[in-house]
Homo-oligomer: A and B are copies of this chain.
């Protein structure tokens, strides 16, 4: 099953609630870029609240996904990064330097609003 992407006004919302395997991470990447193109979304909130493990491949796919989306003109916020995921990312030397992050979905949407992305 592919991970659902919700469209809400100018935003796309994605909630990852499973441990991502390599295949579903790549499918999500593809689906998200397609959906940005199809909906002209200006912002994406990628909620990782329920993701309790990450490895270097998935981290790379997520980082690439953010860069690709931004190339297409959509701003991305990662939300709900769990302690274990944050620890793994830093220990792997992946600091996601230019990526906006927020505590939860609501705060992620707020952050995009503050950056002028959502016009409700």
Contact = CB atoms under 8 A, between A and B. Distances in A.
B8 A106 contact: yes
A71 interface: no
Contacts of A1: 1, 3, 18, 24
A119 interface: no
A2 interface: yes
Q: How many A residues are at the interface, by size bracket?
A: 20 to 34
A105 interface: yes
A117 B17 CA distance: 26
State the main secondary structure of chain A at its contact with B: mixed
Contacts of A16: 4
Interface string A25-60: 000000000000000000000010010000000000
A105 B7 contact: yes
A7 B105 CA distance: 8
Contacts of A106: 8-9
A79 to B, nearest CB: 11
7 contacts: A1-B24, A3-B4, A4-B15, A4-B50, A6-B105, A8-B106, A9-B106
